[in-house]
Chain A
């Protein structure tokens, strides 16, 4: 007995195809996301990246003026490297020495990392967990 094919299947199949097409089109045009790197991986990358690191040393400067200058170090790993970051824009309240932050930007020829304004995010401190390990 031949079963009349339900238009539902066709609709679902076409929709899935449409969604995939839109998705692939978007990602091929806009890129699949910004690579997230640590300071030691920075040298290998060109272009805009998302730099994640721990704040060390003493920050100087004014984020709403000439720029806040601070140093980021690898969070994990044995071979920790540092990079100087110049940041302009809103500084999250949680920003301080010893906190892990993520900034988006590019590395200049002289090694400093220049950020997109306002692109800093900090990670919530997990007060007790850190002490346990």
Chain B
């Protein structure tokens, strides 16, 4: 079976190389059949990669330990779902997953765009082929999942921290996001290569970008939830280089999503847009590089491996290529449209972009500085939490405020007087909220208070938008409130879907502010019967239980929880000892309060032989809003993505004559 897997990957490499070379030749020389052939090769590369992936999956499911990768990440006792997810539990498998998603997306992208943007697709094919060449080369020549060994009796098993539902979904979603950014990148490069600077590349990739951006966002939230529940140190984000690796392209993509709207409405910022989409893609390559090559010490890092230098070369090629193409096409990219006023929606989007990119670059600096420092000064440094917290506040809080301002400012030019009128009510709501919060003690953290006040402002503006829109519609059509509301959203999916997404970001901000600025913690060693009190709760340690599960021994300390005289049941926290993997994992106890959204978070840090346990207990207010924000985020994205029949018809008429013209005869 390993030979089939290896052969399939070699075939993918060959097909990608063909798509790159033949595709470039076909586009440059204007050869139709060659272009179709290159496109077919790109689509076929998905199927050959699928064969390779199927071989690996079969290896896991059949406990085929002659495959070194299977032996390294699976075991006979591993539950079925984790045998599947072990596919991406290590470097080679995750590279294969990357390639699978890439070829899958490439096939879909060139297939869907084949009618409307034929002259664009001929250039997109070699770009996507080139990216596939990079990854398939790594899999064939450097880091193969199909290396064989004399089969041991049992495998090494999967790292226990990966044995939970989050780690089944998190990497897949992140890859759907990372790789998804390759599609708008390829179309942007295709537009530059072909010299066609019309909007088609943006129209063709709008939904791709949103899907990738949503997947990347949800993937990160899942990762944060995993860190919260499974790693269990009491937080959900540690500014670890691997976490930042996913955040940076997401921030760049967020900036891109907004600036692309300006290009759509005003035809400006074309250079900025192609730069942003290239930045987003290069950051996602960099993110994969950080995660896979172990170049920066982090709790996720794999040992320094051979793919590091290749990845770095890959990123350098991508950066040089993008910069060169943008430079070469600079004259065609420039437009006459100008920013007319610093108080306009274009300007607000520009500020939003500047803040997002600034945040992205400071995170990039903080992540890359240790590497640079070691290379240049010979001295490695570690950038700590305070650096990131500082810049997150400096850039993030104004961004939060802008989310409320942007949608209400007019295009081109807005008068300050008009703005004052529009923002009067939301500002009043925000001020009132701020005062009320101070009365409740929120003044203990100034950044937290600011975050809450700004959030109130944004929520007020969003509510205003929905209610005003509905009211305006009812004036025209006389519909009932629910009908007017749903028709309003239905006719303006991008706008109101966007508002829902903004609302989700606000929920995220409130959750983050509450759980980090206003949390409480207590720790201590307890013998049976002793108690600890924190944040209004009192926890009493009752007893210790030990249970044998499928592949681990589960030790749990049981505590009674009381609050203000009422019993709230029990909570369990402890450790799992994994027999095969010879590891211990932390299993925290979390009690979520449905009403207030706060969590009681119990860590049994150390279970001593005499039965005493050292506990660390947190109370984290509003933390569950973060996970709720994830759901609202997906809802908003779905609304934005929903196909709009009218818009489709309009675009179809516009592009009908472009893609479907028959070939002209050679004689003009």
Question: Touch between A and B in complex, CB under 8 Å?
Answer: yes
Binary CB contact string for chain A from 1 to 30 against chain B (1 if under 8 A, 0 otherwise): 000101110011001000100110010001
Asked whether B91 lies within 8 Å of A129 as measured between CB atoms, the reply is yes
Asked whether B382 lies within 8 Å of A33 as measured between CB atoms, the reply is yes
Asked whether A128 lies within 8 Å of B69 as measured between CB atoms, the reply is yes
Which 6 A-B pairs give the minimum distances between C-beta atoms? Answer: A128-B72, A33-B381, A36-B380, A8-B339, A64-B614, A50-B382
Please indicate the chain B residues that have their CB under 8 angstroms from the CB of A60 in the complex: none
Asked whether A23 lies within 8 Å of B362 as measured between CB atoms, the reply is yes
Asked whether A11 lies within 8 Å of B342 as measured between CB atoms, the reply is yes
Asked whether A129 lies within 8 Å of B300 as measured between CB atoms, the reply is no
Which of A77-85, A86-94, A105-113 lines the interface with chain B? A86-94
Q: A35 interface residue, CB < 8 Å from B?
A: yes
Please indicate the chain A residues that have their CB under 8 angstroms from the CB of B361 in the complex: 19
Q: Among A15, A102, A127, which residue has the most Cβ atoms of chain B within 10 A?
A: A127
Asked whether A30 lies within 8 Å of B386 as measured between CB atoms, the reply is yes
Q: A66 interface residue, CB < 8 Å from B?
A: no
Known A36-B380, A36-B381, A93-B585: A122·B299 in contact at CB below 8 Å:
yes
Binary CB contact string for chain B from 292 to 303 against chain A (1 if under 8 A, 0 otherwise): 001001111111
Q: B579 interface residue, CB < 8 Å from A?
A: no
Asked whether B159 lies within 8 Å of A124 as measured between CB atoms, the reply is yes
Please indicate the chain B residues that have their CB under 8 angstroms from the CB of A125 in the complex: 159
Please indicate the chain B residues that have their CB under 8 angstroms from the CB of A129 in the complex: 91, 302-303, 305
Q: B140 interface residue, CB < 8 Å from A?
A: no
Asked whether A30 lies within 8 Å of B387 as measured between CB atoms, the reply is yes
Return 28 A-B CB contacts under 8 Å, by A number.
Answer: A4-B338, A7-B342, A11-B347, A15-B351, A19-B354, A19-B358, A19-B361, A22-B394, A33-B370, A33-B383, A35-B381, A36-B381, A50-B382, A64-B523, A64-B614, A90-B233, A92-B299, A93-B586, A123-B297, A123-B301, A124-B159, A124-B299, A126-B302, A126-B303, A128-B68, A128-B73, A128-B90, A129-B305
With both chains docked as a complex, state the minimum distance between the C-beta of A89 and any C-beta of chain B, in angstroms. Answer: 9
- A133 to B302 alpha-carbon distance, docked (Å): 13
Binary CB contact string for chain A from 54 to 83 against chain B (1 if under 8 A, 0 otherwise): 000000001111000000000000000000
Which residues of B (338-376) have their CB < 8 Å from a CB of A?
338-339, 341-342, 347, 350-351, 354, 358, 361-362, 365, 369-370, 373
Q: A43 interface residue, CB < 8 Å from B?
A: no
What is the size, in residues, of chain B's interface with A at 8 Å between Cβ atoms? 59
Asked whether A26 lies within 8 Å of B69 as measured between CB atoms, the reply is no
Asked whether A8 lies within 8 Å of B350 as measured between CB atoms, the reply is yes
With both chains docked as a complex, state the minimum distance between the C-beta of B449 and any C-beta of chain A, in angstroms. Answer: 21
Asked whether B338 lies within 8 Å of A34 as measured between CB atoms, the reply is no
Please indicate the chain A residues that have their CB under 8 angstroms from the CB of B161 in the complex: 124
- A19 to B583 alpha-carbon distance, docked (Å): 45
Asked whether B583 lies within 8 Å of A64 as measured between CB atoms, the reply is no
- A63 to B341 alpha-carbon distance, docked (Å): 60
Query: 8 new A-B pairs (CB below 8 Å) besides A62-B606, A124-B302?
Result: A7-B341, A33-B382, A36-B380, A64-B605, A65-B525, A90-B233, A90-B605, A91-B606
Q: A47 interface residue, CB < 8 Å from B?
A: no
Q: B575 interface residue, CB < 8 Å from A?
A: yes
Tell me which of B156, B299, B370, B586 contacts A121 (CB under 8 A). B299
With both chains docked as a complex, state the minimum distance between the C-beta of A38 and any C-beta of chain B, in angstroms. Answer: 9
Closest partner residue, chain B, to A34 (CB atom) = B382
With both chains docked as a complex, state the minimum distance between the C-beta of B260 and any C-beta of chain A, in angstroms. Answer: 16
Known A12-B354, A33-B369, A129-B302: A64·B606 in contact at CB below 8 Å:
yes
Q: B584 interface residue, CB < 8 Å from A?
A: yes
Q: A52 interface residue, CB < 8 Å from B?
A: yes
